[in-house]
Each structure stands twice: as C-alpha cells, then as structure tokens.
Structure 1
Amino acid sequence: MVEADASAPCTDPDIGNVAQARRRTRGPSLDKTAQTRQQIAEAALAEFVEVGVARCTMDRIARRAQVAKGTLYLYYPSKDELLRGVVEHALRHSAVYTALQRKKGETVRAFLRRSLLPTMDAVENSERGLLARLVLSEASHAPELARLYKELAFDAWQTYVQDLLTLAVKEGELKTRSVSRSAQLLASPFWMALVHNSLLAPDAPQKLALKPLVELLIDNLFSRSAGDNANVKSQ
C-alpha cells in the first residue's frame, strides 16, 4: 500500500483527522517543549548581552541555542515575541518573584526585610540582573525591550512594594508623605549598585554591596513614629 504524500493538501476530512492525530502522537512532549523554549530564551539573553539587541540575529541565537532556525521561529515568530519571551523567562526564574506569605503578627517592616533583602541581594548575579543590565545599555536602541521591562518587571515590583507600604500606613506602622515615592526609594539601591558594579567600576575589587543600602533605607523609612497619617499621599 502506497502512503499519500505527507506534504500534499488533504481534502478527505477523515484522512486529515488521522494525520492530525499522528502528528499529535509524534509531537514533542510538554517537558521537551518547555525545555526548548527555555534553551532559546537563555541563548537569546546571552546574545543580546554580548552583541546588543539591534545587532543580534535570529541565526546567531539559533546557533547558540543549538536548534534549527525553523524551530526558533516556531516558538518565537518575531524578534518582538522573542524579546517578550526573554523578559518573561528571566523574571520567572528570578528569586525576586518567589512569593512569600506574611506571617501572623509579622510587621510590614519585618516582612520587607525578610522578603526583599535576600532576593535583591541575590538578583545582581541572576538572569534578572543580566536583563536589567541589558535594559540600561540597550533601551535607547530597543524601545520594545524597555517597554516590556517596565510593564512586566519595574511597574509590577513598584506596585507590590507600594501595596505593602500602604498597608503599613493603614496599620499605623509607617509615616510618609508619599507612599509611591517611598516605594521608588526602596528600588533605588538596586539600580545604584547595578550601575556602579556593571558600568562605572566593573573591575573594582570591592563591589558596592546592595543589602546594607536596602537595610538602611528600610530602617530610616520606619524609624519615625507613624503618628498622624491623615495627609499621606499615594502618589
């Protein structure tokens, strides 16, 4: 019996259904799909950091990921979709995005120290740190990268911290003239350390330590008595 040419269009619906079932049966497993997607995202991030987003080609990424160019396009049909995949991958594998629950009776101040300090201290050498350095160096050449980072990382982190500080104000633990500015202030050591250690003094024997800066800011924010927060601003 001679099989039909697999590349020819199928007009018989029953034959088409059989062919689809065979393709599903022979298709890659979910684990293999996720592994390939991760492999491509990691290769793309490394290439973007090495040569820049604008100068990087899909050919280079495919070679680095050790996949066929067609496979790369199957997962990421365009460079913009690949950029989103890279950002989402770096954030998903970041310790900063490990959800922690506030313990019963735990103050917001204590929860911030427990949740932010270990993760922010570790992030510099993580894929999220690589991503942030890439944004600093490439945002002007790749506005879509900057937009994605702001949407998926920067704004999300600011909202998370701002919600915690709003809770601290409501519970009488924190006095501040602006919750949003206080949240921005807590993010500033990360960017200061990143700029210093990656751009200004990458070869310095002594790196600027992030953890003491964050500790000092948390202590200063919460050092004042909450007092009357009637005039506190959310912006």
Structure 2
Amino acid sequence: MRAFALLSTVALAIWGAVAAPLESSLERRAATVYTRCTTANTAALTFDDGPYIYLYDIVNTLDAAGAKGTFFFNGNNYGCIYSADNMARVKYAYNHGHQVASHTWAHKDLTTLTWDQIHDEMWRVEQALVRIVGAYPAFMRPPYGNYNSLVLEASGVRGQGVVIWDFDSQDSLGASAQTSRNLYNNIANQRPSTILALNHETIETTAHNVVAYAIQRLQSAGYRLVTLSECLGKPAYQSTAAPQTPDSSWRC
C-alpha cells in the first residue's frame, strides 16, 4: 500500500507538470456535468469551501442522524489544507464515511484561467487529498458553479465528473438560517424524486442552525441522505490507498 501511495503521488506530480503537453497527445473529451441525483428517493447534502472549523459539528450532526454528506474541499481558501488542524478535519470526514471531493485549490473562477492554470488549480488539491487520506477524487465542483468548454475538457482529461446542484440553501448569498430552513421545507413539500443540495461548510448558521433541520425535514419526507457517489450510483474515487506521511513539501 505504501508503494501504491508513493506511485499515486508521483503520478499526480507528473500529471500536474505535464498537463499542457497532454493537450496535443490526448483527445479532449468533455467531462459529464451532474446537476441532479439519479437514484430515486435520495438527497445529497454537499458542503463547499472547507476544510473549516465547523466541519466537526456538521459531521457529528450527520452521523447522529445516520446521514452521509459530501465535502468539496479547497486547498488554500479559508486556510491551508496542509495545516495540522485542516488535515485532521479532512481525515475526520473521510474516516467517518463521508465523501471528499475537489473544489479546486484556491477557489478561483476557472472560466478566467488558461488551460495550464486550470490544471494547476485541479491537480494541487487532488494531490493533497491523495496525500492526506489516500483518495483520488472522481468529482470536482467548480467555484461559483462556473465552467466553460475548457474546464470541462480539463476535467475530462483528469477523469473527473463536474458537479453542480439543483437546490441552493442560499447560505453563501447571505440567507438567514430561517430562510435556508424555509427553502428546505419548500423543497421537501414539493417532493422531487431526488435532491442535490448546495451548502457551505464555512457558514456558522448552516452548521449550527440549518443542517440538523434539513436532515430531519428531508428524512421525514422519505429521502435517504447519502453521499454524492451513492445518489449518482458511481464510484466516489478514481483510486484509494493508505494516507501518506507529511514532509516539508506539504505546504501552501
């Protein structure tokens, strides 16, 4: 396993370094964009922009209800993913059976970047997740939900699906906790077959005033709260291995 983990790290480093030359040697195929779940009666609660201080509270709330969530992590947004505290947070989510995925390195609008810059934003957080928990993510959510053909082609080359959402708690738009709870209540009353929900791990009211209500309301409406992988019926990771040991190269 240790040898596999080393090979994964080397592969990711090479992948990042040679992304541009791949443009001429591989046919670009656009990644699939997922905007909704496909497994009936499932709801996927997803959380962007971490790892952050509220992760433990969110994970514990999910665990207490028998629910699973998906965390789209940045590498260096609200803090460096390689800090001791943030590595512990990533491990906590992963080891408790929640899905970890890419939200790119620094939360830049990918549609404003070049081919090389897009790959740099992608591979650096992929490398971090492989190092910290051994998981090479199969899914990426572009910051702000923004993507263009270049982003889709880069994701396709990297073997990843692009994930958006079909329900927004509006926490990142400044919605109050009551507004977010009302939105969850409304969607539960409408009872679509599935729900792919956008939330943000970095917002205190989401962690402490919305998540527990959303779980209870959706479960009472008959939904199973599952990972993105389960709601799509697809693998969460392209590969998994043992986590690695930090060294001086692990920095932002």
Structure with the larger RCO, 1 or 2 (CA within 8 Å, 6+ apart): 2
Larger radius of gyration: 1
Q: 1 or 2, which has the higher helix percentage? A: 1
TM-score (norm 2): 0.28
